[in-house]
A = this chain, B = another copy of it.
């Protein structure tokens, strides 16, 4: 199955190269030797106020660990894909949409995003929402919802309110 996905994989984030054994945490959820990758604001408003840091990515490891942080009021892209996400909330609180379900999230909660399941994370509670996300190194590209997909999702009033940013 990995082979089948090879053709359409996203390139794994680059290795740190020298394999630094110990990288110290800073007080602001930054780390020695880890670049913070700001997502540019998207004209289509697919996401808002989210940054990404790749904490672990190595050719010997079959998965990567990333840290995403959404500023208060921000959100990640609403998307789905064949690969899974394994998420641990590291900082703050918020809400997520997983499939048809909206969940309130607190620090250290665990979230599993199954294959081909629509998902989005939102910092809905006036504070940042920071989360670790484990993901296969070889993985397919995210899909965005069509107008039909959105109509199906927003048929549920709670989901509609979540996607409007009304929570």
Q: CB of A111 within 8 A of chain B?
A: yes
**Contact across chains for A63 and B136 when beta carbons are under 8 A apart:** yes
Residue from B25, B98, B110, B134 in contact with A25 in the complex, judged by beta carbons closer than 8 Å? B110
**Contact across chains for B56 and A25 when beta carbons are under 8 A apart:** no
Name which residue of chain B comes closest to A27, CB basis.
Answer: B108
Q: Shortest distance in angstroms between A108's beta carbon and chain B's nearest beta carbon?
A: 3
**Contact across chains for A63 and B134 when beta carbons are under 8 A apart:** yes
For chain A, residues 43 to 89, give those with C-beta under 8 angstroms from any C-beta of chain B.
Answer: 55-56, 58, 60-63, 65, 83-84, 86, 88-89
Question: In the complex the two chains form, what is the Cα distance from A102 to B49 in whole Å?
Answer: 38
Q: Shortest distance in angstroms between A66's beta carbon and chain B's nearest beta carbon?
A: 11
Q: Shortest distance in angstroms between A14's beta carbon and chain B's nearest beta carbon?
A: 15
Query: What would 21 A/B residue contacts be, using CB atoms closer than 8 Å?
Result: A21-B98, A21-B101, A21-B114, A22-B96, A22-B110, A23-B110, A24-B109, A25-B107, A25-B109, A34-B110, A55-B86, A55-B88, A55-B110, A56-B112, A60-B84, A61-B84, A61-B86, A62-B62, A62-B136, A90-B108, A132-B132
The 6 closest A-B pairs by CB, nearest first: A63-B63, A25-B108, A62-B62, A56-B86, A23-B110, A22-B103
